[in-house]
Amino acid sequence: MRPDFVLDSPTLSVVTPMYNEREAVDHFVARLRPVLDGLGVTYEVVAVDDGSRDATVARLLELRQDWPALRVVKLRRNVGHQSALAAGLRSAKGDYIVSIDADLQDPPEAIGEMLEKARTEDLDVVYGVRSDRSTDTVFKRNTAGVYYWLMRRLVGPHLSDQAGDFRLMSRVVVDTLNDLPEQQPVYRLIVPSLGFASGEVTYVRAERVAGETKYPLTKMIKLSVDSVTNFSAAPLRVATWLGVVAFMVCLGLIVSGVAAWGFGVTVPGWTSLYIAVLLLGAVQLICLGLLGEYVGRIYAATQNRPRFLVAFDTDEQEPMTTKPE
Ligand code: UDP
Ligand code: MG
């Protein structure tokens, strides 16, 4: 049964992917609600549970009891931040959609400013740009620095430095994103590349309110590989160049080998052969690996498997059980 208070087109949708955020969720709701109530627009909050193993869903459903605007969309399993965001963007019904993390590192108070800016300046995208991330760990800041440096080179200079996934988008932008066939979209890169009229709101990145980061190194690496392959075939070209360099080196070795033979200096020749074989082998493996990355992606795209499956959406139906799986 569809609950009757469901809004069909609220002005604002706030989309939040959550993975094992039981500790943060109360803080998040307590701070978000007064901000949204103060905006004077109709809104929904789409909390996408990305297959949490803790009591996140149960707690969200409890909180929903006295905040019906809090909508819970539960995914069947953990699909990662970007795909969870994709699920949220598909579910969101608002004219404007804000994506924000659940750990309060992005201040909900900035949402008002974003909406105001989008409306008065007629913008389709308003990026939240981190002016200061001194609260992030040195490791996070440095890896992020390298990431944004590289991505600016791949995507172009219009990629805002330090714009993460805290941003406001209009319905047109979200419809466009939802229609993209990408299997592993990296929204922070795709959105700027679409070329919609955009503005920025700067904010200071706060410390995670509770719990630990849900982005271990493995997920960071996945995001980086997705980011590069989303935007560039450059690594494939690197493979070609590696091949060219290896070829030159081997050519040199051949010439010197022939010369040595000509001069009658019969070198044992083991070392040079050894190096040439190793070098060529290594280059071939690198190139094969790179090809594999892209071929794998083509394969995944042709399979056209759903990126996520929704277990339930409280806008469609109240769940029978609230047990975490
Ligand atoms: N997240 C998610 N699925 C995941 C990992 C993270 O939905 O597999 C969510 C997480 O709950 C949070 C947001 O993505 O709302 C950003 O994660 P986090 O704050 O842990 O990343 P960090 O700020 O450390 O980069
Ligand atoms: Mg965080």
Q: Which of 23-27, 173-177, 207-211, 296-300 has the lowest mean pLDDT?
A: 296-300
Residue 215 CA: which ligand is closest? 1
For the Cβ of 104 lying below 6 angstroms from any atom of ligand 1, the answer is no
What is the atom index within ligand 1 of the atom nearest the CA of 214? 20
Q: HSE-up of 286 (CA within 13 Å, CB side)? A: 16
Share of the chain above pLDDT 70, in %: 96
DSSP result, 132-171: E-TTS-HHHHHHHHHHHHHHHHHH-TTSPTTEEEEEEEEH
Q: pTM for this structure?
A: 0.81
pLDDT for the residue numbered 133: 72
pLDDT band at 5 (very low <50, low <70, confident <90, very high): low
DSSP result, 72-133: EEEESS---HHHHHHHHHHH---SEEEE--TTSSS-TTHHHHHHHHHHHTT-SEEEEEEEE-
Quick one: 12-137+161-214 is in which CATH superfamily?
Spore Coat Polysaccharide Biosynthesis Protein SpsA; Chain A (3.90.550.10)
ipTM greater than 0.90, yes or no? yes
pLDDT band at 121 (very low <50, low <70, confident <90, very high): very high
pLDDT band at 25 (very low <50, low <70, confident <90, very high): very high
3-state secondary structure of 17: strand
Tokens of 96: 């404007």
pLDDT band at 3 (very low <50, low <70, confident <90, very high): low
Q: Which of 119-123, 272-276, 308-312 has the lowest mean pLDDT?
A: 272-276
What is the atom index within ligand 1 of the atom nearest the CA of 50? 7
Q: Which of 142-151, 167-176, 197-206, 256-265 has the lowest mean pLDDT?
A: 256-265
Task: For residue 262, report the distance from its CA to the centre of ligand 2, in Å.
Answer: 66
pLDDT for the residue numbered 262: 81
pLDDT for the residue numbered 37: 95
Task: For residue 165, report the distance from its CA to the centre of ligand 1, in Å.
Answer: 10
Residue 35's identity, in one-letter code, is: V
| Domain boundaries defined on the chain | 12-137+161-214, 233-303
pLDDT band at 117 (very low <50, low <70, confident <90, very high): very high
Tokens of 302: 């042709």
The residue-averaged pLDDT of 58-78 equals: 95
Share of the chain above pLDDT 90, in %: 44
What is the atom index within ligand 1 of the atom nearest the CA of 80? 8
pLDDT for the residue numbered 104: 92
3-state secondary structure of 313: strand
For the Cβ of 9 lying below 6 angstroms from any atom of ligand 1, the answer is no
Residue 82 CA: which ligand is closest? 1
**All residues with CB under 5 Å from ion ligand 2:** 101, 103, 105
For the Cβ of 165 lying below 6 angstroms from any atom of ligand 1, the answer is no
Residue with tokens 């070198």: 267
